Amino acid sequence: MTHRIVCAGDQFISAELLARSVEAALDGDVTPVLVGSAWPTEPFGEIDGVREAAGDPSELAAAVEGAAAVITHLAPITAQVLAAGKGSLQVVGVTRGGPVNVDLAAATAAGIPVAYLPGRNLNAVAEFCVGTMICAMRGLPAAAARLASGTWDATGFKYERTGLELAAATVGLVGLGAVGARVAQLLGAFGSRVLAHDPYLADAPPGVTLVDLPELLAGSDVVSLHARLTPETRHLIDKAALATMRPGAVLINTARGELVDRAALDAALESGSLRAAVLDVFDPEPPDPTDPLPRRPEVLATPHLAGASRQVAEQSAARIAAEVAAVLTGGRPTHCANPDALDPQ
């Protein structure tokens, strides 16, 4: 049986890559329909009730008619798109850790499971964290900014301006899920002392000490955020939390911008109580052009790139293709965002 599968790609995970992956997973029994978007050249946004989506839902709905599956990264899988697949669409596969670009209520009502990939970019994010820890602790963003402005600043060799090596550092991880656990594993190879705070864990992996948040903040040279955003964790790192941190500590946020009170962080950096910050996420995102944080020389600011690697694109395409193939051949997805679509009772 040949399966008609819509492969809705973008400039990170292309439609062609998705098509090759699903053809391999189904031994070539595929008629791929390629649909593309211009993300990230053009931003994603909210479209017809779904978030962080890129593409034209009307174009996608036309392509989905008669299709057995849709595989995508960011395409808007709206109620309109799902209705266009009525009678044929058996599964939606999303190459993301959270399928916010899918109308899950509409998919569940239609009995269409949504497969997704939690932890899909954990290694890329973990490597980014460790690499930027080294940069921030050693003062490299500020030193690079001074050199780019034409100043050769040899005073970076003054003892009081030098930073710690990871082997001598205590690193505190706020959240010890898939990414946090991988960061801890990498830090173990450097010889770091690793603290973690995660209220959902009873036991820590080897080499990690679980502590409460105040103890972690007070005892860490680097604090790296890996918590989910919830009403309880919004502005988890506020003025009071920043005041608890060690003088000269470094803050790294690759999780969600809303975890940090940006005004309080700006004040902590201005006062010199923090040495540096690494910010890959912002609140709002993108940040306002007048936001002073990204322009600070002691801040290494990147536009939500921690999870961007070739391996993430290639492995995500292969993994979601396998999930979709499992459903189309009578199996179940490993991770289903709407399990009620599989077991309506």
Q: Which residues are catalytic?
A: 256, 285, 304
The DSSP output letter for 158 is: S
Question: Residues near 222 by Cβ (< 8 Å), separated by ≥ 6?
Answer: 133, 136, 137, 169, 170, 171, 172, 249, 250, 251, 252
Q: Give every CB contact of residue 106 below 8 A, 6+ residues apart in sequence.
A: 78, 79, 82, 83
Q: State the pairing for strand pair 45-47/50-53.
A: antiparallel
130 is written with which tokens? 């460790």
Tokens for 96, please give them: 């993301």
Helix, coil or strand: residue 92: strand
Query: Hey, what's the torsion of the CAs at 193, 198, 199, 201, to 10 degrees?
Result: -80
Q: What is the dihedral of CA 116, 335, 79, 22, to 10 degrees?
A: 60
Amino acid code (one letter) for 254 = T
Closest C-alpha among 92, 91, 110 to residue 100: 92
Q: What one-letter code names the amino acid at 339? A: P
CA R_g for the chain: 22
